[in-house]
Amino acid sequence: MTADDIRLARVRTFQPRRGRVSDRHEDALARLLPVYGVDETFEPEAAFGRSAPLVLEIGSGMGTATAEMAAADPDRDYLAVEVHPPGIANLLWLVAEGGLRNVRVFDGDALDLARTTLAPSSLSAVHVYFPDPWPKPRHHKRRIIAPEHVALLRSRLAPGGAFHCATDWAEYAARMLTVLSADPELVNTSEGFTPRPAHRPVTKFERRGVAAGREIFDLVFRRVE
């Protein structure tokens, strides 16, 4: 790690959350994390037992959208990354219930995983759906869609791979458009924002945003070939 990496690694993009994990979630974590969980030694072929395009889902939340997408897309593998134990537990439960063979879960910071473990050009897509908006200006440094994070994640995408973000926070959406457009190796697949692609299910946080009357913004960029 360079000195810059260490400085950036200290600013976390998530809220440390405590609170009780329910018995059902405790049970899912104990039983299923050893089956579907991966750690910093993650290696795609070993983890999935095959060589297939790999999708990185950052901040999978309660995992409902991840499980739905993975079930509809069996030819690709999904690596879901989350730090919120109830969300991790819920996704593990959905994966086991649905008999999904193409999902693995990392409990930790996706940016650390990208820095230390994911190989350059190894991803077919990066999904960042409804990331924490960190609306206060003094918290903007915590936003995951920032030039240095985008450069890191884009470097892990294979040429032609998709960088797909969605948000219900208009000011953050405008910032995402600026940051992604400024990356020298990303090209927008649309003029500005794009309608929600059919493969992206409506997520829990999206529903909350819609219920609060907010507009939804999708952005799909591709790494240059």
Ligand X SMILES: C[S@@+](CC[C@H](N)C(=O)[O-])C[C@H]1O[C@@H](n2cnc3c(N)ncnc32)[C@H](O)[C@@H]1O
Q: Does 42 bind ligand X (CB under 6 A)?
A: no
Q: Which of 44, 61, 86, 161 binds ligand X (CB under 6 A)?
A: 61
Segment interacting with ligand X (CB under 6 A) among 27-35, 153-161, 175-183, 197-205 = 197-205
Cα–Cα distance, 143 to 106 (Å, whole number): 20
Q: Between residues 26 and 112, which has the closer beta carbon with respect to ligand X?
A: 112
Sheet holding 103-107, edge to edge: 37-38, 103-107, 77-82, 54-58, 123-129, 157-167, 217-223, 186-188
Helices (H), 72-188: 85-98, 110-116, 147-156, 170-182
Segment holding 162, helix H or strand E = strand 157-167
Segment interacting with ligand X (CB under 6 A) among 34-42, 124-132, 171-179, 184-192 = 124-132
Q: Does 144 bind ligand X (CB under 6 A)?
A: yes
Give the number of residues written for the chain. Answer: 225
Residues 198-217 that bind ligand X (CB under 6 A): 203-206
Who's near 206: CB < 8 A, 6+ residues apart? 129, 130, 166, 168, 216
Q: Bridge-partner residues for 103, per DSSP?
A: 78
**Least Å distance between CB 60 and ligand X?**
6
**Least Å distance between CB 208 and ligand X?**
8
Per-residue x/- mask for ligand X, residues 78 to 107, rule CB under 6 A? ---xxxx--x--------------------
End-to-end CA distance of the chain: 27
Segment interacting with ligand X (CB under 6 A) among 32-40, 69-77, 128-136, 179-187 = 128-136
Q: Which of 129, 163, 169, 193 binds ligand X (CB under 6 A)?
A: 129
Told to judge if 23 belongs to the known catalytic residues of this protein, a careful annotator would answer: no
Angle (CA) 158-153-65 rounded to 5° is: 90
Cα–Cα distance, 58 to 74 (Å, whole number): 19
Q: Between residues 102 and 203, which has the closer beta carbon with respect to ligand X?
A: 203
Active-site pick, 27, 73, 112, 132: 132
Return residues touching ligand X (CB under 6 A): 13-14, 58-61, 81-84, 87, 109-111, 129-132, 144, 203-206
Question: Which residues are tagged catalytic?
Answer: 132
